[in-house]
Amino acid sequence: MEKPVGIVFGESTTDHFTFIVNPRGELPRFGEFLVVKNRDGDEVLALLRAVRNMNWLMDASRGSYDYVEKTVSVFATGVLEKSEAILATAKILGILRTEKGEFLRKPVPNRVPIKPGERVYLASDEDLERIFSSGQVRIGRLIARERVEVGLDVNRLVSRHFAVLAVTGAGKSNTIAVLAKEIVSKVRGTIVILDPHGEYRSLSWPGARVNPIRATIDPARIRLGEFAALLGIAENASLQRRFLSLAYRTVKAEARESGRIVGGLDFIEAMEDKMEEWIRAYENAEGSEDRVIYYYDERGNRVRRSIQARDLDSLIRLKDYLGELRANFGEFISARDVLSEIRPGMVNVIDLSGMEEEQMISLASFTLRGILKKRVDYVKGVRTNDRALVREVSEAYPALTRPLLVIVEEAHIFAPRGESNPASKWLGKIAREGRKFGVGLGIVSQRPKKLDDDILSQTNTKIILRLVEPNDQRYVQQASEQISEDLLNDIASLGVGEAVVVGYAITIPAMVKVYSFERDMNGHYGGGDIDIVSEWLEGKEEDDEITEEEAINALPL
């Protein structure tokens, strides 16, 4: 080993020790990795947690300002310097190398304390690379050791799900761009990003495999709960939801009987026509016995029903909801099947920008449900040798014959804490069951405390960039067994683009400087803030060209 950075000094335990720093060596910095031998002769890996400077002649518990001033005046500079000491505290991460010299890539718990007087050394780059660089995809470099790359195990990252959490502007979108590029380029992974703000629609890098998908909804394909959410019908509006379900089934049944395929805006218009028909059945009837409508029930039977005065308001409101949807969001209504447009081995970006939250939730629910259901069908077909089922999925949805990673940006919109919606149901189901069928989940949020508890706790790897809000920090800690109190302090001190990575996909927790997607990977995406000052100044010359006459005319009379 090289020159020691210190000697164990004072009390030590099985999980931490204090050492006095060698003043003639390299000063170790906060977050540095260290090695030292325990009482059994095993080499232990430790993380530097605190460094403090003190002077034995100027102990803070002694005297007053006058005492300190006199001490400085009386003693020569050399005497004071010789009385100085740098004390450091380190947290033990585990045994790195046994007494017999066996290297342990994943350090095991240390069971015996460190003996005072043991020399402390910096861990070698080679050892750290063996620990941190074994994963298939590279996310960045150790903050404390810039020469050492940090890799993540893709199998563990995807199958056991992950979360990227941070305040606005800390680097969430950059982190997702880095991960997406690495997964697609290195292991030919298939990724679907639900993108509420259109940040990734311009995602690119040299040789990029990106498939932008225009977000559209086919009301004829989605479920009734999703359709109700799409229209913005409250959950307690039971009568409106009842008539919606009657019309939904009836329009579909009548289309089947006539041999027509109804979808997209045609389906919305058919629903509006059915509402109008039922409204007229009440308004044009001469007596109460004539106020009847016909609908199809769950079994496909045609059923007769009387319309009451109390029903009329619900029918009118439903017709209005349908008209508003068509007028305001007609550009997002289409008979296209979004699932069929997902391409294997690519980053598939579903751009949700321009939609209201209700529409985003409905499309997310349809997409998540479809992905999980088709993957379940395919996997079961393969396991049971059901060739018809395998062929059905393969021909219509070829990308879903492979494992797939779904990344949900602004996840608190789709899975809010303490609330339920169609999307949160399927996010929860993927979080709990997706691993068995090759569906991974990545959730991204700047509001962790507003995320569903169960879904966040199911993400076994967490990439946490800067979080300054104490409630967010505590909530994330409660949702993760691996985040200790000292890691929580690290999270608050991170800079832009720096992250604490903890969990199943990394050998041991690490503080990482995430690669810059644009600078380090020559890539581009639509995230980042607008440079407001630059844009204002761009128009300065035009503003200065305003003539005196124009300025006079602009004055109020």
CATH class (in words) of the domain with range 149-216+339-534: alpha beta
Burial class (CB in 10 A: 0-12, 13-18, 19+), 419: exposed
Distance in angstroms (rounded) separating the CA atoms of residues 260 and 269:
14
Average pLDDT of 317-322?
A: 92
Residue 326: enclosing H or E segment and its boundaries? helix 309-329
Quick one: pLDDT band at residue 142, thresholds 50, 70, 90? very high
pLDDT tens track for 72-83: 776 666 666 677
Please, are residues 463 and 455 in contact by the beta-carbon 8 Å criterion? no
| Percent of the chain whose predicted confidence (pLDDT) is above 70 | 87
pLDDT at 35: 95
Quick one: pLDDT band at residue 180, thresholds 50, 70, 90? very high
The full DSSP string for 111-134 is: -SPBPTT-EEEEPPHHHHHHHHS-
Residue 228 has pLDDT above 70, yes or no: yes
Mean pLDDT score of the chain: 87
Task: Give the other-Cβ count within 10 Å of 112's Cβ.
Answer: 14
Average pLDDT of 180-200?
A: 95
Quick one: pLDDT band at residue 544, thresholds 50, 70, 90? low
> Which residue, 64, 43, 50, 61, is CA-closest to 1?
43
Residue 152 has pLDDT above 80, yes or no: yes
Mean pLDDT lowest for which of 112-121, 246-255, 300-309, 404-413?
A: 300-309
Strand stretches in 31-169, DSSP E: 33-37, 43-55, 84-97, 103-108, 119-122, 137-142, 149-152, 162-165
Distance in angstroms (rounded) separating the CA atoms of residues 447 and 451:
7
Amino acid at 405: L
Please, are residues 196 and 526 in contact by the beta-carbon 8 Å criterion? no
Distance in angstroms (rounded) separating the CA atoms of residues 135 and 149:
10
The domain locations on the chain are 6-123, 149-216+339-534, 224-332
Please, are residues 485 and 163 in contact by the beta-carbon 8 Å criterion? no
Question: Given 3-state DSSP classes, what are the helix, strand and coil percentages for the chain, each rounded to the nearest 5?
Answer: 45, 25, 35
pLDDT at 52: 86
H-assigned helices in 385-410: 387-396
> Which residue, 425, 463, 429, 421, is CA-closest to 443?
463
Torsion angle, alpha carbons of 250, 253, 257, 263, to 10: 100
Quick one: pLDDT band at residue 542, thresholds 50, 70, 90? low
Quick one: pLDDT band at residue 431, thresholds 50, 70, 90? very high
Distance in angstroms (rounded) separating the CA atoms of residues 507 and 151:
9
Quick one: pLDDT band at residue 283, thresholds 50, 70, 90? confident
Residue 86 has φ and ψ, to the nearest 5°, of -115, 120
Quick one: pLDDT band at residue 260, thresholds 50, 70, 90? confident
Number of residues in the chain: 557
88 to 6, 46, 56: CA distances (angstroms): 9, 12, 16
Please, are residues 527 and 174 in contact by the beta-carbon 8 Å criterion? yes
pLDDT tens track for 330-386: 888 988 889 999 999 999 999 998 888 888 998 999 999 999 999 999 999 999 999
> Which residue, 348, 403, 445, is CA-closest to 158?
403
Please, are residues 421 and 405 in contact by the beta-carbon 8 Å criterion? no
pTM across the whole model: 0.83
Count Cα neighbours of 158 within 13 Å in the Cβ-side half-sphere: 26
Quick one: pLDDT band at residue 555, thresholds 50, 70, 90? low
Please, are residues 34 and 120 in contact by the beta-carbon 8 Å criterion? yes
Average pLDDT of 484-488?
A: 65
User: How is the beta sheet containing 210-214 ordered, strand by strand?
Assistant: 149-152, 137-142, 510-514, 498-503, 461-464, 162-165, 439-445, 404-408, 191-195, 347-351, 210-214
Residue 85 has pLDDT above 80, yes or no: yes
Higher pLDDT, 11 or 407: 407
pLDDT at 548: 61
